[in-house]
Chain A
Amino acid sequence: MADKKLAVRMRNISKSFGQVQANSNVSLDIYRGEILALLGENGSGKTTLMNMLSGIYFPDSGSIEIDGKPVVIGSPKDAFDHGVGMIHQHFKLVNVFTAAENIVLGLKEPGPFDIQAAAERIRKICDSYGFDVDPNQKVYDMSVSQKQTVEIVKLLYRGAEILILDEPTAVLTPQETDKLFAVLRNMRDAGKAIIIITHKLHEVQDISDRVVVLRKGEYVGEMITAESTTEEMTTMMVGHQVELNIERPRPINPKRRVRVHGLTVRNNEGVLKLDNVSFSVYSGEILGIAGISGSGQKELLEAIAGLQPVEIGSIEYVNDDGTIDQLIGKDPLEIASMGVALSFVPEDRLGMGLVASMDLTDNMMLRSFRDGPSPFFTDRTAPKKLAEKVVEELEVNTNSIDTPVRRLSGGNVQKVLVGREISSSPTVLLTAYAVRGLDVNSSYMIYDLLNKQKANGTAVVYVGEDLDVLLELCDRILVLCGGKVSGIVDGRYTSKNEVGLMMTKLGGGKA
């Protein structure tokens, strides 16, 4: 450590939003030639802290030194001037521009605008770190990982010495992640300071040299990655011991519940999103659905739930007595009135699954508001009871059931949504990114809930992005690639590598 040069010294940084203390008295050192992982649960203040270093927020108190000099970072431009650059989870690129145009966009370089020279410089940067970027490629032609690469090159082009990456692997396949980590190591070896925000422990182990853990906005400790285990990290992150194993009981008496055959779906713009998709879901199993984001996962679930018009194909629901109901062409209300207990936890929790401005009780009656003795007035007795039950059983952290759900944190919002959806004892439960943005505790609670549904004989469909979880939780995994079924594998016997290859190439043949 001693030979490493201090790049950033943050001291006693505090920041609050209204009554919420996002960071309090955090002190942090960042060294050149080191990859630092910033670890913490959701809402632990990792992103806020880094946003203050990159000029998005301004600290309420505390000091920042860069290369030994005290600095005031009041805007992203100030941050750039001190060599700090941040890659956000959502990319900020102009789609119709080329990589080179995006990289030089907004730069005030002396002399006439020379895109050729810029492209040359970009190539040089790419060569020295091992990036794979064509300066003349348009952004709309790029994959997510290429766009991310452009963002990184953009920062390097502008002379960034301190790079912050906010959950960079969330959108990448395992192979792309490996590539990203390789260039990050190159950048470290070239003497840059790199901070990576994440809550995936195995990645922390893989890439970082040092780990700093935040909890509830405070610095709780740090460790040298090579000398620590993931258990130690979790314990420090959560504050107590957590069981990190997901159970996977064998399906009991599985029976075909939903049969999808030849499903083809186009979106509003006429783009083919699902192409001849066929599979079945059985009762008492968890079927995982893997794929690069935007491979048709959303359309698939929405088609089954009656929210997505279908071009051709069939979706059959198999009743207990063996009779078959066709679900295509029916809206959610019609599906429910046929006696099909289908629940759906959509990706967009506050924009589709819940009403953000309504309180817990009103959200509980979203599906059931038509019930009740009066044909005209709503009856809030049952929803109120359900809200109380969900709050108690799923440990929802809220002041009262009269709180609008938008005031709840991400994990609690998801508990409210899942709680409502499983309250109707569904026979089919569709979930899209059920643990996205959730901390470790909440995530494991959701896995438990899904396993309970599985034990009850529910056919559970789990669309996920974390392959480690998919491999641990699901009985079978269906891999989508560009709207087609790339393959269906047994979750107990497949490997991360196999699924990763199937995500990028139909059938998973060597790329």
Chain B
Amino acid sequence: MVHITKRKEMSTQQALVIRLGAIVAALVVCGIITALLTGLNPVSVYLTMINGAFGSQRKIWILLQETAILLCVSLALTPAFRMKFWNLGGEGQVLIGGLTAAAVMLILGSRLPNPVVILLEIVAAVGAGAAWALLPAIFKAKWNTNETLFTLMMNYVATQLVAYYVILWEVPKGSGKIGIINQSTEIGWLPQIGSYKYLLNILIVALLTAGMYAYLKYSKHGYEISVVGESTNTARYVGINVSRVIIRTLLLSGAICGLAGLLLVAGTDHTITTTIAGGRGFTGVMVAWLAKFNPAVMVASSFLLEFMGRGAGEISTIYGLNHSFGDILTGIILFFIIGSEFFITYKFHFSKKEEGERNV
């Protein structure tokens, strides 16, 4: 007979051992599945993955850039999640931030000096992202509507808006694409540090990570967020204005998503498409949860997910495998990591039922 009971508490080291064990077990299972399904040597597949992520300087830069943007979106979601406000609208908030940045570049690019354009696009992108999150926040604060559905639906509105403007601004006509904005003048493009195309984005997100960590842990706002997230009754009991905290936190969450949109459009891509957010609004949910909403740990979890993604891409090209195979491996690894939480929270008892039965 097996009984499952809740563990009282577990030391941090023990938990770490279980998590590392889960990753090792995941790699073993992935290796077995790889060998069974493809007949390839799992070790060489893993080496290919590592090569795909770190194989050249360019690959490393791309990995860091992708990690930075994913981390940026995850950081944006974190304060809302800490408050138990399930902001699933990161995708839309990134898109709308990117769209307004692109609009400023396109419309004002030829009329105003470059620094002014950059300043305006920052304000526009951050403001638009914040506004996109503000709407569901107001409804939640005033009428306690379900924020999950609301933010989710806002994603579709954002996607459709982007689709509309892409057609409106398409270059050349009929291509269905905007192409690189201000390619000759580079007006509205965020400055490049030396010859490193992605360095600025990475630095901004690094600063943001430190800032978010301090905000959540040491600021009065962060404290209020934790109290509201734990119990709105407690918050009311000490006179915290719950509605105000919800709205303020969602403005922050949306603003950082807007910033991610800005970094994508004005920092690296210099164009806007409906898929520019690339599902990061949702992958970010996973990153945040895996890290238990701790910004420092999120550096690792976003890196892990990006590494898996890059590596999976590499094995699909090298071995001619479908890209889905990489996704299968990512899925297995995530399954083990998330599954390990079960063993951290619960434990099994194998009782000696046989003895009892013999007696009966």
A contact residues vs B (CB 8 Å cutoff): 17-20, 57-58, 60, 63, 69-72, 74, 305-307, 331-334, 336, 344, 346, 348, 351-358, 362, 365-367, 369-370, 375-378, 407
Nearest-Cβ distance from residue A335 to partner chain B, whole angstroms = 8
Residue pairs across A and B with Cβ atoms less than 8 A apart, 26 shown, are: A17-B5, A18-B6, A18-B7, A18-B8, A18-B347, A58-B3, A72-B356, A72-B360, A305-B237, A307-B237, A331-B239, A332-B238, A333-B240, A336-B239, A346-B237, A352-B237, A353-B234, A355-B227, A355-B230, A367-B238, A369-B223, A376-B219, A377-B218, A377-B219, A378-B218, A378-B222
Question: For residue A365, which residue of chain B has the nearest CB?
Answer: B223
Interface check B1, CB cutoff 8 A: yes
Nearest-Cβ distance from residue B234 to partner chain A, whole angstroms = 5
Do A20 and B234 touch across chains, with their CB atoms under 8 A apart? no
Do A377 and B239 touch across chains, with their CB atoms under 8 A apart? no
B8-24 toward A: CB 8 Å interface, digit per residue (1/0)?
11100000000000000
Do B360 and A69 touch across chains, with their CB atoms under 8 A apart? yes
CA distance A63 to B231 in the complex (A): 43
> A19-B8, A307-B237 are contacts. A376–B220 as well, Cβ < 8 Å?
yes
CA distance A435 to B233 in the complex (A): 21
CA distance A57 to B5 in the complex (A): 9
Do B234 and A354 touch across chains, with their CB atoms under 8 A apart? yes
Question: For residue B231, which residue of chain A has the nearest CB?
Answer: A351
Do A352 and B357 touch across chains, with their CB atoms under 8 A apart? no
B223-250 toward A: CB 8 Å interface, digit per residue (1/0)?
1101100110110111110000000000
Q: Please, which residues of chain B bring their CB within 8 A of the CB of A333?
A: 238-240
Contacts A18-B7, A74-B1, A376-B219 given; 4 further ones with Cβ under 8 A?
A60-B349, A346-B237, A355-B227, A369-B223
Q: Please, which residues of chain B bring their CB within 8 A of the CB of A358?
A: 226, 230
Do B360 and A58 touch across chains, with their CB atoms under 8 A apart? no
Q: Please, which residues of chain B bring their CB within 8 A of the CB of A348?
A: 233
Q: Please, which residues of chain A bring their CB within 8 A of the CB of B57?
A: none
Nearest-Cβ distance from residue A359 to partner chain B, whole angstroms = 11
The tally of CB-CB contacts under 8 A between chains A and B is 96
Q: Please, which residues of chain A bring their CB within 8 A of the CB of B224?
A: 369
Q: Please, which residues of chain B bring their CB within 8 A of the CB of A357?
A: 226, 230
Q: Please, which residues of chain B bring their CB within 8 A of the CB of A72?
A: 353, 356-357, 360
CA distance A119 to B8 in the complex (A): 45
Specify which of B5, B222, B236, B356 is in contact with A307 (CB 8 Å cutoff).
B236
Do A344 and B237 touch across chains, with their CB atoms under 8 A apart? yes
Specify which of B220, B233, B238 is in contact with A377 (CB 8 Å cutoff).
B220
Q: Please, which residues of chain B bring their CB within 8 A of the CB of A332?
A: 236-239
Q: Which of B190-233 contact A (CB under 8 A)?
A: 218-224, 226-227, 230-231, 233
CA distance A354 to B240 in the complex (A): 14
Q: Please, which residues of chain B bring their CB within 8 A of the CB of A19?
A: 8-9
CA distance A127 to B255 in the complex (A): 71
Is chain A's binding surface mostly helix, strand, loop or mixed? loop
Specify which of B6, B218, B359 is in contact with A17 (CB 8 Å cutoff).
B6
Q: Please, which residues of chain A bring their CB within 8 A of the CB of B56?
A: none
Q: Which of B343-359 contact A (CB under 8 A)?
A: 347, 349, 351, 353, 356-357, 359
> A58-B1, A348-B233 are contacts. A17–B360 as well, Cβ < 8 Å?
no
Nearest-Cβ distance from residue B231 to partner chain A, whole angstroms = 5
Q: Please, which residues of chain A bring their CB within 8 A of the CB of B230?
A: 355-358
Do B356 and A352 touch across chains, with their CB atoms under 8 A apart? no
Question: For residue A59, which residue of chain B has the nearest CB?
Answer: B351
Nearest-Cβ distance from residue A463 to partner chain B, whole angstroms = 16
Question: For residue B353, which residue of chain A has the nearest CB?
Answer: A72
3 nearest A-B pairs in the assembled complex, by CB-CB distance: A18-B8, A333-B239, A72-B356
Identify the interface centre among B1, B3, B230, B237: most chain A CB within 10 Å of its CB: B237
Nearest-Cβ distance from residue A347 to partner chain B, whole angstroms = 11
CA distance A68 to B25 in the complex (A): 48
Do B220 and A355 touch across chains, with their CB atoms under 8 A apart? no
Do B226 and A369 touch across chains, with their CB atoms under 8 A apart? no
Nearest-Cβ distance from residue A304 to partner chain B, whole angstroms = 13
B307-346 toward A: CB 8 Å interface, digit per residue (1/0)?
0000000000000000000000000000000000000000
Specify which of B220, B238, B356 is in contact with A70 (CB 8 Å cutoff).
B356
Nearest-Cβ distance from residue A172 to partner chain B, whole angstroms = 28
Question: For residue A334, which residue of chain B has the nearest CB?
Answer: B239
CA distance A367 to B220 in the complex (A): 12
> A72-B353, A331-B239, A407-B9 are contacts. A351–B233 as well, Cβ < 8 Å?
yes
Do B238 and A366 touch across chains, with their CB atoms under 8 A apart? yes
Nearest-Cβ distance from residue A467 to partner chain B, whole angstroms = 28
Question: For residue A355, which residue of chain B has the nearest CB?
Answer: B230
CA distance A354 to B351 in the complex (A): 38
CA distance A376 to B224 in the complex (A): 12
Nearest-Cβ distance from residue A67 to partner chain B, whole angstroms = 13
Nearest-Cβ distance from residue A355 to partner chain B, whole angstroms = 5
Question: For residue B233, which residue of chain A has the nearest CB?
Answer: A352
CA distance A357 to B6 in the complex (A): 17
CA distance A319 to B351 in the complex (A): 65
CA distance A331 to B236 in the complex (A): 8
> A366-B227, A377-B218 are contacts. A352–B234 as well, Cβ < 8 Å?
yes
Identify the interface centre among A71, A375, A378: most chain B CB within 10 Å of its CB: A378
Do A355 and B231 touch across chains, with their CB atoms under 8 A apart? yes
> A18-B8, A352-B231, A355-B227 are contacts. A378–B219 as well, Cβ < 8 Å?
yes
Q: Please, which residues of chain B bring their CB within 8 A of the CB of A362?
A: 223, 226
CA distance A60 to B5 in the complex (A): 12
Nearest-Cβ distance from residue A30 to partner chain B, whole angstroms = 19
Do B359 and A70 touch across chains, with their CB atoms under 8 A apart? yes
CA distance A23 to B355 in the complex (A): 21
Q: Please, which residues of chain B bring their CB within 8 A of the CB of A71?
A: 356, 360
CA distance A176 to B137 in the complex (A): 49
Q: Please, which residues of chain A bring their CB within 8 A of the CB of B226?
A: 355, 357-358, 362
CA distance A19 to B353 in the complex (A): 23
Q: Please, which residues of chain B bring their CB within 8 A of the CB of A378?
A: 218-220, 222-223
Do B351 and A58 touch across chains, with their CB atoms under 8 A apart? yes
CA distance A355 to B233 in the complex (A): 10
CA distance A354 to B5 in the complex (A): 26
CA distance A307 to B227 in the complex (A): 16
Q: Please, which residues of chain B bring their CB within 8 A of the CB of A70?
A: 356, 359-360
Nearest-Cβ distance from residue A417 to partner chain B, whole angstroms = 11
Nearest-Cβ distance from residue B248 to partner chain A, whole angstroms = 13
Nearest-Cβ distance from residue B9 to partner chain A, whole angstroms = 6
Q: Please, which residues of chain A bring their CB within 8 A of the CB of B356?
A: 70-72
CA distance A377 to B10 in the complex (A): 31
CA distance A260 to B277 in the complex (A): 58
Question: For residue A357, which residue of chain B has the nearest CB?
Answer: B230
CA distance A355 to B3 in the complex (A): 31
Nearest-Cβ distance from residue B244 to partner chain A, whole angstroms = 12
Q: Please, which residues of chain B bring their CB within 8 A of the CB of A74?
A: 1, 353
> A17-B6, A376-B220, A377-B220 are contacts. A355–B360 as well, Cβ < 8 Å?
no
Nearest-Cβ distance from residue A110 to partner chain B, whole angstroms = 25
Nearest-Cβ distance from residue A485 to partner chain B, whole angstroms = 26
Q: Please, which residues of chain A bring their CB within 8 A of the CB of B239?
A: 306, 331-334, 336
Specify which of A60, A306, A351, A376 is in contact with B234 (CB 8 Å cutoff).
A351
